[in-house]
């Protein structure tokens, strides 16, 4: 297993605990991770490759409806808050695209999901890249929920 840590002072186990997120129970490869649980930058980005069945179960365990994917690239231009968004705009922020070393092929369709939630109501956006019997999962926090706050 390869582990790449982020630049923050918090270690992986503390960040995962803060988000109430566990790694999948199956063997993973190419694990990358960065995150922190304290303001101003409550954040978690993680990727790994595992068997497709494990990745799908991991998503189901976190309330993702696999029958309702979004896709990258999108089917057309979109607009959010008056800002035009091209169909090939990267699915994650620049720092996480670099961390994930993602070079997406715009001629291919990648499944995307929102709504991946942890028990602390942190929500993630997820992109899947199937590779034979394995799938690479890339995830970036979207809403921090109650992370870093006392319960």
Q: Is residue 5 scored above 60 in pLDDT?
A: no
Domain range spanning residue 131? 3-143
Tell me the whole-structure pTM to 2 decimals: 0.87
Residue 52 falls inside a structural domain: yes
pLDDT of residue 77: 73
What's the total number of domains in the chain?
Answer: 1
**In a domain? residue 121:** yes
Residue 14 lies in a domain: yes
Mean model confidence pLDDT for the chain: 88
- For residue 131, being part of any structural domain is answered with yes
Q: Per DSSP, what are the bridge partners of residue 91? A: none
Residue 149 lies in a domain: no
Assign 4 a pLDDT band (cuts: 50, 70, 90).
Answer: very low
Residue 80: is its pLDDT beyond 80? no
């Amino acid at each position: 297993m390869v582990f790449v840590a982020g630049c923050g002072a918090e270690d992986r186990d503390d960040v995962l605990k803060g988000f109430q997120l566990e790694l999948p129970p199956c063997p993973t490869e190419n694990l990358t991770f960065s995150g922190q649980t304290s303001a101003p930058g409550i954040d978690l980005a993680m990727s790994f490759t595992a068997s497709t069945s494990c990745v799908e179960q991991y998503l189901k365990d976190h309330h993702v409806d696999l029958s309702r994917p979004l896709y990258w690239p999108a089917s057309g231009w979109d607009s959010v808050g008056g800002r035009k968004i091209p169909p090939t705009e990267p699915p994650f922020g620049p720092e996480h695209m670099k961390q994930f070393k993602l070079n997406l092929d715009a001629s291919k369709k990648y499944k995307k999901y929102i709504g991946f939630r942890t028990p602390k109501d942190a929500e993630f956006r997820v992109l899947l890249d199937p590779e034979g019997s394995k799938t690479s999962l890339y995830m970036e926090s979207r809403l921090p929920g109650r992370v870093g706050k006392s319960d």
